[in-house]
Each structure stands twice: as C-alpha cells, then as structure tokens.
Amino acid sequence: MLGFKLKRGVEASVERIFKSTGREFDSLSFSWTGKTAAVSFTREAKGVVARIIFPNLDDKADIPESTHHDLVGYAVHELGHVWFTENEPWDLARQGYGAFVGALINGLEDPRIEQCVIDSGYVPNARVLFNHVVRTVLLKEGYAQADDFKNIPFMLAIEGRRLNGYSIPFPSVLPDSPWGDDLEWALRQPATSTADVADIAIELNLRLQQKRQEQQEQQEQQQQQQGGGQGGQDGQGKPSKQGKQGKQGKQEEGKAKAIELGDALSDQLSDLIPQGRSSRVPIATSVSIATFNWE
C-alpha cells in the first residue's frame, strides 16, 4: 500500500476506534516524524487532546502489509495509553527520580495497558496485533543480554508481555539476570493504575541501585585483591547464554543504546524519507468542513 494512503488509513482507524468506545477527541493530530511511536495527551472537559507520533514513513513508498499491521498495533498501543494511563503519577515520578525511573514505568506500564485493552474488548483483535508487534521487534532486534542494565526497561516490557500470554520467540532472561529476582518481583506486583506502577518502579529503582552499588564494591574489592591490573569482568555479572542471541551479542555496555519497541519499525522506515528538520511537512492539527448558513 502507498505510504500516503496507509497514513490516512491508520489515522482514520485511530479516530474511529476511539470514538467507538464512546469517547471524543477534542483535538487529535498525527505526526509522522518520530523515530518511534509515542503519544502525548491531556484529558480536558471537552474531550481528549492528543498528539500521536509515528515513525517516519515515506508517502511515496510501497509499504508491505506486515508494516501496516505493525502500525495498527502501535496505534492501538498508543490508544491504550490514552484510555488507561494517567499522566500525573508518571510525570511526577520522572521529575522526582530521573529518566531511568520514567523508563522503568514505561516498561511496566506498557504490558499493563495492553492487557487492559485486551480485557476491555475495545479492539477485538488487540492480542493478535500486540503479539505481532512484539514478535517483529524481537525478531529484528533480538533480545537483551541478561546483564545489560540499561535494557532493564525493555526486559520488563517483554517479560510483562510474556505474563500477558503473548508468544515470545526467546526464552526468559530473568533466571540468568543479576537482577532477575527484583524484576520478577516488580512484574508480579498487582497494579491497577499508573500510580501503582510508578510506586513499583520507584521501589524497583531503589533495589536495583542498591544491588548495583554492592556489585561495584565487590568488583573494586576483587580488583584490589588481584592487584588491580588484571582487567576481566566489568561487574555486570556473567555474560549470559541469551547474550549470544539476536543482535544483542554485538552490544557493549556504554556504547549500545537501549532498545525501544518502536526501534524495529523506525529502522525499517527511516531510510525511506529525508530526515532533515527543514523538510518536515506540517501536520494537520484540525481539518474541518464549513457549512453554509442560509437565511
């Protein structure tokens, strides 16, 4: 399908799905300029004011059907945030405890809202769509190494979805992870709102930082005992069996970026459109039709 038509199709789907649940957008705009999918929204008296950002997609390119399914999956995921996420606890936690806590909340909140969407029945094939997106990402990006600290939010997002019952093409990394118990604890905590998720994420962050500090102290002691000149392990635990899977084997601590769910899609599409800031086309913030008011 031509990218141009696909975009309008996805946008129309988002609006229709949202309206079918009896809710109204006061304002809804789409931007196809991101690296990954994201949503920014506020709930106003008149309705929801939302801006949904999708990855760059060339209007003139022929987009395969699988990417279409992925985009619809992302769209429903972002709608899930609009339906079930509260901004305030998330923003407060992020401001108070830093970006990593924000990322942990994201990792825990994503599976929660997806399960809420599935349970709500708003989108009858939501499970299939979400499963398709997760499989696409994992098969393209591979899974994180068990001891890759910066990818903990990604591990939470994937393992949370495994608990939702999705078919994940890689075995769990938690048994091999130095923080496996803590992550397992976080995922098993009952959470019915974003506020609950934020509390769990703050507690998890504390546990992780403590454990990391202990590991660093241990490492320093070992280095002192060995005379400090042997090099060896980086204090991030043993390399896991999972580390050889997918592309993650190539990643090194400090160099590689943390994986995000939209990365696979973004990489897929980013070469299709110029990325320059000046070439960004304006987005339609509102399109309306005037009426003729006859006397």
Partner 1 sequence: MKLNRAECEKTYLATPEIQNSGALRSNLLRLLRSIDLVGWSSHEESGRLDRRALTRFASGSVNIFSRRQFVEAENSAVTVLVDLSSSMHKGVVKDGETIKRIQVVRDVTIQLSRLLDRAKVDFNETGFFQSRSDSCTDVKTHSGETHELRGEDCVFVPFKQWNETLVRCVAKLGAITNFCRGGTPAYTAIERSLLDLSKQDSKRKILFILTDAEAFEGSHIKHLDDLAERLGIKMVAVGIQTYDVAVFKHHTTVMNLQGLGEQAFAKLLQTLGRRHVAS
- CA nearest 154: which of 136, 169, 131, 137? 137
Verify binding: residue 257, partner 1, rule CB under 8 A. Answer: no
Using CB under 8 A, which residues numbered 111 to 150 contact partner 1? Answer: none
DSSP letters, 140-182, are HH-PPPTT-GGGHHHHHHHHHHHHHT---SS--SGGGSTTHHH
Segment near partner 1 (CB under 8 A); pick from 13-21, 29-37, 67-75, 177-185: 29-37
1 binds partner 1 (CB under 8 A): no
Q: Does 97 bind partner 1 (CB under 8 A)?
A: no
Q: Is 281 helix (H, G, I), strand (E, B) or coil?
A: coil
Q: Which of 222, 136, 137, 150 is nearest to 179 (CA)?
A: 150
Pick out residues in 159-188 that bind partner 1 (CB under 8 A). none
Phi-psi region of 115 (alpha: psi -120 to 50; beta: other; left: phi over 0): alpha
Please report whether residue 39 would count as binding partner 1 according to CB under 8 A.
yes
Of 95-103, 111-119, 128-136, 231-239: span binding partner 1 (CB under 8 A)? 95-103
CB of 219 to partner 1, least distance (A): 30
Gyration radius of the chain's alpha carbons: 21
| CB count in 10 Å sphere of residue 9 | 14
Instruction: Work out which of 1, 13, 26, 29 binds partner 1, going by CB under 8 A.
Output: 29
Question: Looking only at residues 46 through 65 of this chain, which bind partner 1 when binding is defined by CB under 8 A?
Answer: 51, 53, 59-60
Q: Tell me if 290 contacts partner 1 by CB under 8 A.
A: yes
Site string for partner 1, 217-256 (x = CB under 8 A): ----------------------------------------
The CA distance from 249 to 271, in Å, is 24
Euclidean distance between the first and the last CA atom of the chain, given in angstroms as a whole number: 46
Q: Which spans of this chain sit near partner 1 (rule: CB under 8 A)?
A: 2, 4-5, 8, 29, 31, 33-36, 38-40, 51, 53, 59-60, 81, 87, 90-91, 94, 99, 102-103, 105-106, 260, 274, 277-290, 292-295
